Amino acid sequence: MVPNPLFDDRDETARPNGGLAYAPPNPPPEALSSSLDERLPSKPVGPALRSAQVHHTGQSMLARRLALAIAVLAGLIGSQGPEFAQQYRQRLGGALEELNRIVSEFDREIQRQNLTRADALKRLANNSDPLARERGQDIGRAIERAQRLDKETHAITSAGPLMRLYVVATTFDRDVARSTLDNYEPAEPLSIGALTAGGLAALWGWAAAHLIAWPFSRRSRLGATSAQSGTTNAG
């Protein structure tokens, strides 16, 4: 049988006038893939860029973990602030009571001599006996410290829980603060003031850690950008 030239195994399409035209077969997928790869230029990632990206990612994770650790530590320390202020106020009251006792005894002594406090201190300062001069200096320091602690006690008593921390931090007596810190007993941060102070301290610690790490993070980002630019130009 003679094959009909109008019908064979090849793909054919109909012409508008009813005839048939030859259509070439579809190319294999491998040819399409290679042709697409030739037309789309590739952007290889060099070892320098990969190393910079890995280094930048590692530094970012380390900075976040460090900031979290600092925030937690600052929160724990800050939550103990109200309790420390409370124990400091108690010791401050004890120190003020002892100073007032010393000053009261001195006032009774000078009253028996019909002297004012200023006249008595002046006489002790001008005395030729070193022991008397030293006693006058000690009494003068005790009077001055008692007045200062009395003002601080009133300021702490009239302040709220958070404002009390500010008063203690700005007007603390060194000896009383050292004694309070040496004998401090931590407490559970269950009060509103302790929780608020802990939250503010944690926020401050988080912000401070990010602020300190910002120059190093910026340098790492610049290094990664430079490596990416160099790889792009090389490609």
pLDDT tens column, 182-206? 998 887 666 676 667 767 777 777 7
* CA–CA gap between residue 161 and residue 209 (Å, rounded): 26
Does residue 191 contact residue 167 with C-beta atoms inside 8 Å?
Answer: no
* Strand ranges, E, within the chain: 12-14, 20-22
pLDDT value of position 28: 55
Q: Are 199 and 82 in contact (CB under 8 A)?
A: no
pLDDT for residue 57 is more than 90? no
37-50 average pLDDT score: 48
- Considering only residues 61 and 159, tell me which one the structure prediction assigns the higher pLDDT: 159
- Does residue 56 fall inside a structural domain? no
Q: How confident is the model at residue 68 (pLDDT cuts 50, 70, 90)?
A: confident
Domain assignment present for residue 36? The answer is: no
Sign, CA dihedral 190-193-199-204, equals negative
Average pLDDT over residues 49-71: 63
Q: Is residue 64 part of a domain?
A: no
Domain that holds residue 86: 82-184
Number of domains in the chain: 1
Q: Is residue 231 part of a domain?
A: no
pLDDT classification of 29: cutoffs 50, 70, 90? low
Does any domain span residue 46? no
Q: Is residue 42 part of a domain?
A: no
145 vs 11, higher pLDDT: 145
Query: What is the C-alpha separation between 135 and 124, in angstroms, rounded?
Result: 7
